Structure 1
Amino acid sequence: MGSVTPFPLPPARHGGSRPSQTGFERDELNRILDLYGRMVAAGHWRDYAMNFEKDFASFSAFRRTAENPDYRIEKRPALRNKQGMWALYNESGMILKRGQELGPVLAPIERRLLKIVGE
């Protein structure tokens, strides 16, 4: 039979066990994917991508696969005590909203969804 190779753990830095990448918590991801699903149902979004790096995690929503993302939601825990760890970027990369909580940062997309559904 084969041998089992242990999964490598990231080395602890400065006495703490800091993760090697930033990710979304389950409730955060549920909220983002719920909004994504409603935008897909409205016919506005068709694809998404997630990126998990050391310093940030991002969720990008696309109208079509071969485009720039329509919106990008980014989580940067290092900015938690400064300007807020959540940021919403538009297609050109401009920050539309920044904050400590995910809900208010998603509000511009929620308002846009209400306009799309109301039409």
Structure 2
Amino acid sequence: MSALPPFHADPDRVVFDRHELGMILSVYGRFVAAGEWRDYAMSFLREVAVFSVFRRAAEHPLYRIEKRPKQRAAQGAYAVIGMDGRVLKRGHDLQQVLRVLEKKLIRSIE
């Protein structure tokens, strides 16, 4: 029986670091607690890392949180994209970008 090889990050893929993922999962947890979101998926590709959130597992994502490092110098590496493909917020600071979702949570609780 052979042991699994040690984990090595793929330099050709964009990923969320631990701090970024912590911020995203914090927002995700609040929406789950409010009964708004039920599932998520993550994709790590060459150009983009994507965290998608779903109301139900079998449907299209409600929102996509994207990290595109090549956009860092222009509009910012982070974006929140709605179900219809519109960019709801883009910027250099993930915490600021995620605030667009916080506003929606406050409205859904009221």
Q: After TM superposition, is the score higher than 0.5?
A: yes
* Identical-residue share of aligned pairs (%): 50
**CA displacement 1:40-94 (0-9 Å, x = unmatched):** 0000000000000011100000011111111100000111111110011001111
**CA offsets 1:10-47 (integer angstroms, 9 cap, x no match):** 9xxxxxxx812110011100000010010000000000
Distance in structure 2 (CA, Å) of the matches to 1:63 and 1:73: 15
1:74-113 paired onto structure 2 within 5 Å: 74-113=66-105
TM-score, normalised to structure 2, is: 0.90
Structure 1 portions without partners, runs of 5+: 11-17
Aligned to 2:56: 64
Query: What is the distance in 2 between the residues matched to 1:88 and 1:113?
Result: 14
Correspondence for 1:32: 24
How far apart, CA to CA, are the structure 1 residues paired with 2:50 and 2:4? 31
Q: Structure 1 segments of 4 or more deviating over 6 A?
A: none
CA-CA distance at 1:111 after TM superposition: 0.7
**Which structure's relative contact order is higher, taking Cα pairs within 8 Å and 6+ residues apart?**
2
Please state if 1:45 is matched with 2:37: yes
> Whose Rg is larger?
1
Could you tell me how far apart the structure 2 residues matched to 1:50 and 1:97 are? Answer: 19
Aligned pairs, how many?
110
Consecutive unaligned residues in structure 2, runs of 5 or more: none
